[in-house]
Amino acid sequence: MKLLPALILAMSAMLTEAADAPPVAEDPVLEKRVIRLASELRCLVCQNQSIADSNADLAADLRRQVREMLKAGKTEEEVRAFMVQRYGDFVLYNPPVKTATALLWAGPFVLLVVAVAALFLALMRRRAQIDERELTPEERERARTLLAGGGEKRP
Amino acid sequence: MNRFLIPLVAFLVLVVFLAIGLSLDPREVPSPLIDKPAPGFRLAQLRDSGKTLAVEELRGQVWLLNVWASWCAPCLEEHPRLLELSQARTVPIVGLNYKDSRDAALKWLAKHGDPYSTIVTDPDGRVGIEYGVYGVPETFVIDRHGIIRYKHIGPLTAEALQGAILPLVRRLQT
């Protein structure tokens, strides 16, 4: 009869776990859209988390906002615009292409071009340093002994 | 000579960029609401929940909107400055009690003093979202035409008040 209290204890532990679980979505399809959209939006409190990942209060509020807007039939574009209107481009993990963000978008490609150009120049310069001429008979002889495995006599 | 010059220049450029990056405050996100009409609301008042206040009722005067909560520690930090400001009667301060309970808010005001001309309540943070609030306290300067002219994020400092907010308020009032 020791089993029963143990069982009750185990179950109560499960219950307390359950209290922490997120609210069950009534509509899994909608919830999936909410999560997908929320994972594109930056949480402003924690900044390095999306509002889908963050446990901050504001992130929960914004998830609710996204859910309500999608439920009301708003498009994802409209939800994004709503967030940008209030929090600025900063909320988007995918920043829009415009003059202020041109460097951000073009920067990696510019760097790539510069790096390739630098590599090319370095290779050209190295090639110029290579001294291409015929070997003298003595050098040829030396190479032959080296290749034959005879080694070189050191003075 | 060249061998050392190029890495040195590259290093200095990097240092300059890092220095700029370090001196920026990543928490200061520029608000897109500046120079836009203050989002409308009609909310219940904290002191008398039977009464409401709407943004339109504040037309014709320059006012501050201060977002605060009793659970917010930095709000206590800026509180003395708000009290001074209200004593000087320079500008009405409307409080937006953000995601707070009425009892806790009233108790907090009774303990620390009440600088607000009116306080409205936003228990579920919806109006906060409209104003792009992401960290309490935040303070907005709103002009006679209901346009947001300035937003201060975080506790009000003496420098922010004397350097930016009060000069702006004076200019808007004349």
- The pLDDT score that the predictor gives to residue A43 is 86
Same domain, A91 and A107: no
Give the whole-angstrom CA distance, residue B98 versus residue B93: 15
| Residue A114, strand partner residues | none
Q: Which residues pair with B121 in a beta bridge?
A: B97
Q: Which of B72, B60, B77, B112 is nearest to B96 (CA)?
A: B72
A58–B134 C-beta distance less than 8 A: yes
Residues A113, A83 within the same domain: no
A150: in domain: no
Task: Determine, for residues A87 and B32 on separate chains, whether the beta-carbon distance falls below 8 Å.
Answer: yes
Bridge partners of A44, per DSSP, are none
Residues in chain B, pLDDT under 50: none
Are A88 and B131 an interchain contact pair (Cβ–Cβ within 8 Å)? no
Same domain, A37 and A88: yes
Min CA distance, A83 vs chain B (Å)? 8
Residue of A nearest to B28 (CA): A44
Domain co-membership, A53 together with A126:
no
Tell me, yes or no, whether A89 and A30 share the same domain: yes
| A103 and A88 fall within a common domain | no
Among residues B60, B43, B134, B61, the alpha carbon closest in space to that of A87 is found at B134
Residue A19 and residue A86 in one domain: yes
Co-location of A28 and A49 in the same domain: yes
Query: What DSSP character marks residue B46?
Result: S
Judged against a pLDDT cut of 60, whether residue A117 lies above it is answered with yes
pLDDT for the residue numbered A3: 66
Shortest alpha-carbon distance between residue B13 and chain A (Å): 15
Q: How large is the average pLDDT for residues A71-78?
A: 91
Is residue A141 in a domain?
Answer: no
B31-173: which CATH architecture?
A: 3-Layer(aba) Sandwich (3.40)
Residue ending a domain, choose from A47, A78, A96: A96
In chain A, residues with a C-beta closer than 8 Å to the C-beta of B99 are 57
Token couple for A139: 């050098």
Chain A partners within 8 Å of B132 (Cβ) = 86-88
pLDDT tens figures, A4-43? 666 665 555 555 544 444 555 577 888 888 999 999 898 8
Across the interface, which of A86, A88, A89 has its CB nearest the CB of B129?
A86
Residues of B within an 8 Å Cβ radius of A: 26-27, 29-33, 99, 124-126, 128-135
Give the predicted TM-score (pTM) of the model. Answer: 0.72
Q: In total, how many domains does chain A have?
A: 2
- Chain A residue numbers with beta carbons less than 8 Å from the beta carbon of B129 are 61-62, 65, 86
**Predicted local distance difference test score (pLDDT) of residue A19:** 47
Both A107 and A91 in a single domain? no
Q: Indicate whether this complex's ipTM tops 0.85.
A: no
Nearest residue on chain B to A61, alpha-carbon basis: B125
Residue B21 distance to chain A (closest CA, Å): 15
Residue A71 sits in which domain range? 12-96
One domain, residues A27 and A85: yes
Tell me the chain A residues in contact with residue B130 when contact means C-beta distances shorter than 8 Å.
86
Same domain, yes or no, for A24 and A67?
Answer: yes
Q: Please tell me the predicted confidence (pLDDT) of residue A149.
A: 78
Say if residue A53 is in the same domain as residue A90.
Answer: yes
Residue of A nearest to B131 (CA): A86
Q: Does some domain include residue A123?
A: yes
